[in-house]
Chain A
């Protein structure tokens, strides 16, 4: 990290003083400049760039829009972009740099849950607001942290009964990525399957470098489930759908997922390999609402032929920035605690996917959730659920009565 001793001293003193005298000092440090700095730490190269690139595009669009309308508190927003190259070590390095040397007002970013957990404690220590714009397994309870994506209670809770009824099946087989997202989400799938009178036959976990799914495909056929629920992540795992189709099983066992499509799986795979997959998200590009049409037009005007396919992750980044802008405007300052209090007042932001409200108890977003089915490389929206609360995290987390809480709760553990 490039940092001179002097800037290091300055930042350490500032952080030290802030922790003594309250974070107001950080706010005044910004007031000296005529811009407000924010940082984005998102993978736009390496294995995860397929998730990160649309997020950064939408965040840039949001920053441009706000700056064109006069900025925040009359100041232009300066976006400092870091690319951690799908490498967790770089996350911590850049987060430290953003919080100390750059003294940003807020950090946006993180793709995998592992990268989020690498920088979340660090940003809390440095008293720097952190917005995580990615759907994840839920449960993080931290007053310095805001999640703008969906969590299992918002998506899987409506998806599970939907597919169990649509395919009139009770027996579910789960295949998941072998890290905290897959493990915790699989627990939620089991929870909601059983809550709807079904049963999970088996759950298999795959490290992210697995490309040969032959044995699993035979095991699934032997188990004969009514529904196959996939929580696979990344490019290697796409092989599963290829091998599934080439074994002649496409369409034989219905599939559902809470993350299929955010890695453009439904575009890369052929229609034969991906048709019929049912998924639930807080946003789908195919939504035909005036807000979404206008949003897509603005995105196309900015990026032209390079416009990425937009998914929930990208729109969450867009929403996250607008929530922060609203919080700062309502607080009248970039002071961290004042902004947190303003964000806890429940003011909605009407984004491309619908209304998004920050739940003051959990700092997660209350979102409209849409269920869609993959049809010829696109999602067909089947039904929408209005204003789903993050009830999974809310089971354990109440930041209003316990503002110093700082942990990630996992289903099955006692609060």
Chain B
């Protein structure tokens, strides 16, 4: 019994952390059709922001939930203004530019912070379920992910900003002729995506070491998940994270982490073979 509870918690945690890592990328890709290859480095910046602020005496929760998304959001805004906005509609060029950006950010972070692993200990302690110790921070990650998804849904479905954003996503010319400025919408979207990545980095900082090269460990999985999810930002992220995260965690439990990764990739390949536009390209069409 205790094993089942622990297993369910672990699957939920894996799905939640995958969704969290994907959210920023999904927003930018879903809204703007921009593939941001520097996504992993945004996560890394969020991690460093959290660790540095926490070491400077800022309460950890404020560092994670406020400072990390704020700092990375500002960085994202500047990057959009300086680099990305010149390349809209040119997918290959944006990929190249953001890949270069990713190398630049890794290099800068190595110069500034060194290649030492930095980190903070996870707060909240642990509880015992039967024979197993479970980190309460894992439960916190599940909760915060649900909160982020609910908040995103609310913004997209129930605010003017969300309405305009969805409109611009479906038909930028029409939105533009109705008086919404696509340039501004893109700028806000990219900033929001960067802030979400920063938040993910902040939340993951206490669980995994923060190193300049950490982005590489996340970016591939995030991409596969977002592509598998398809065009709808929220529904796509949730369903793809649920399927891929669930399958990979269960195989990791049953066999080992290498086969877990293989299972994730295999599932993604099979899904994309039959659903080339992603899960939400076929099911839940028109959902957010």
- The chain A residues found within 8 Å of chain B, CB to CB, are 45-47, 49-50, 178, 204-207, 209-212, 214-216, 218-219, 221-222, 224, 235-236, 238-239, 242-243, 245-249, 252, 264, 268-270, 272-273
Which A residues lie within 8 Å of B128 (CB)? Answer: 248
Which B residues lie within 8 Å of A268 (CB)? Answer: 116-119, 209
Which A residues lie within 8 Å of B54 (CB)? Answer: none
Query: Complex: how many Å from CA A270 to CA B135?
Result: 17
Q: Does B137 contact A (CB under 8 A)?
A: yes
B208 touches A247 (CB 8 A): no
Which A residues lie within 8 Å of B110 (CB)? Answer: 45
B135 touches A243 (CB 8 A): yes
B6 touches A218 (CB 8 A): yes
Tell me what chain B mostly uses at the interface: helix, strand, loop, or mixed: mixed
Chain B nearest Cβ from A222, distance in angstroms: 7
- The chain B residues found within 8 Å of chain A, CB to CB, are 3, 6-7, 10, 13-14, 17, 110, 115-119, 121-122, 124-128, 131-135, 137-138, 204, 206-209, 211, 213-214, 216-217, 249, 252-253, 256-258, 260-261
How many residue pairs link A and B with beta carbons under 8 A? The number is: 130
- In the complex, 13 of the A-B residue pairs with CB atoms within 8 angstroms, ordered by the A residue number, are A211-B207, A214-B14, A215-B249, A215-B252, A218-B6, A238-B208, A239-B209, A242-B122, A242-B207, A243-B207, A246-B124, A248-B128, A272-B121
Query: Complex: how many Å from CA A45 to CA B114?
Result: 9
A235 touches B216 (CB 8 A): no
Given A222-B3, A242-B209, 4 extra CB contacts under 8 A: A204-B256, A212-B17, A212-B208, A236-B217
A235 touches B13 (CB 8 A): no
Which A residues lie within 8 Å of B256 (CB)? Answer: 204-205
Query: Complex: how many Å from CA A202 to CA B173?
Result: 60
Given A212-B17, A248-B128, also A242-B206 (CB < 8 A)? yes
Residue among A50, A221, A235, A272 with the most chain B CB within 10 A?
A235
Which B residues lie within 8 Å of A246 (CB)? Answer: 121-122, 124-126, 135, 137-138, 206-207
Chain B nearest Cβ from A82, distance in angstroms: 18
Given A235-B211, A248-B135, also A214-B122 (CB < 8 A)? no
A49 touches B115 (CB 8 A): yes
Given A47-B115, A212-B14, A247-B134, also A239-B121 (CB < 8 A)? no
Contact pick for B207, options A46, A205, A239, A272, CB 8 Å: A239
A236 touches B121 (CB 8 A): no
Query: Complex: how many Å from CA A211 to CA B21?
Result: 13
Chain A nearest Cβ from B20, distance in angstroms: 12
B7 nearest in chain A by CB position: A218
Chain A nearest Cβ from B255, distance in angstroms: 10
Query: Complex: how many Å from CA A214 to CA B139?
Result: 12
A245 touches B138 (CB 8 A): no
Which B residues lie within 8 Å of A272 (CB)? Answer: 121
A53 nearest in chain B by CB position: B115
B106 nearest in chain A by CB position: A46
Which A residues lie within 8 Å of B115 (CB)? Answer: 45-47, 49-50, 235
Chain A nearest Cβ from B241, distance in angstroms: 13
Given A47-B115, A245-B122, A246-B206, also A211-B7 (CB < 8 A)? no
A214 touches B3 (CB 8 A): no
Contact pick for A210, options B119, B131, B137, B257, CB 8 Å: B257
Which B residues lie within 8 Å of A45 (CB)? Answer: 110, 115
Chain B nearest Cβ from A385, distance in angstroms: 31
Query: Complex: how many Å from CA A216 to CA B255?
Result: 10
A270 nearest in chain B by CB position: B121
Query: Complex: how many Å from CA A248 to CA B116?
Result: 25
A219 nearest in chain B by CB position: B253
B253 touches A236 (CB 8 A): no
Which B residues lie within 8 Å of A243 (CB)? Answer: 122, 135, 207
B260 touches A215 (CB 8 A): yes
Query: Complex: how many Å from CA A248 to CA B211?
Result: 24
A48 nearest in chain B by CB position: B115
Chain A nearest Cβ from B140, distance in angstroms: 10
B208 touches A249 (CB 8 A): no
B10 nearest in chain A by CB position: A214
Residue among B117, B119, B138, B253 with the most chain A CB within 10 A?
B117
A218 touches B118 (CB 8 A): no
Chain A nearest Cβ from B134, distance in angstroms: 6
B121 touches A245 (CB 8 A): yes
Chain B nearest Cβ from A56, distance in angstroms: 14
Query: Complex: how many Å from CA A247 to CA B124?
Result: 10
Query: Complex: how many Å from CA A218 to CA B128?
Result: 12
A222 nearest in chain B by CB position: B3
Chain B nearest Cβ from A221, distance in angstroms: 5
A239 touches B132 (CB 8 A): no
A236 touches B257 (CB 8 A): no
Query: Complex: how many Å from CA A93 to CA B187?
Result: 44
* Shortest Cβ-Cβ A-B pairs, 9 listed: A248-B126, A246-B122, A239-B208, A248-B133, A246-B135, A211-B208, A215-B252, A235-B211, A235-B117
Which B residues lie within 8 Å of A206 (CB)? Answer: 257-258
A238 touches B119 (CB 8 A): yes
Chain A nearest Cβ from B84, distance in angstroms: 27
B258 touches A218 (CB 8 A): no
Which B residues lie within 8 Å of A204 (CB)? Answer: 256-257
Which A residues lie within 8 Å of B206 (CB)? Answer: 242, 246
A202 nearest in chain B by CB position: B256
Which A residues lie within 8 Å of B261 (CB)? Answer: 207
Chain A nearest Cβ from B218, distance in angstroms: 8
Which A residues lie within 8 Å of B116 (CB)? Answer: 50, 264, 268
Query: Complex: how many Å from CA A7 to CA B119?
Result: 49
